[in-house]
Amino acid sequence: MSTWEYIYIAVGSAASGIGITFLLILMCQYFGIDIFLHIWLIAVPIVLALFLNVFIIELYHKFKRKD
């Protein structure tokens, strides 16, 4: 796996983490949850983005064509 492929996967995971963060903030506003009282909620998108990054890399290694 080349360095560029790792970079593409990391950027994609970071973009999805940003999207999940915006969804979380919108949901907190919709349901009236004070995010400053529940600051631990910010950890959810970070953990999901990291999990997604590792999961995609492992899937890529598993289904990568043998040369």
pLDDT digits (tens, 9 = 90+) for 47-65: 999 999 999 999 988 888 6
pLDDT at 11: 94
What ranges do the domains of the chain cover?
Answer: 3-63
Residue 1 pLDDT exceeds 90: no
The predicted-structure confidence for 20-40, as pLDDT tens digits, reads as follows 999 999 999 999 999 999 999
pLDDT at 37: 93
Compute the distance between CA of residue 58 and CA of residue 52 in angstroms, rounded to an integer.
Answer: 10
- Residue 67 pLDDT class (50, 70, 90 cuts): low
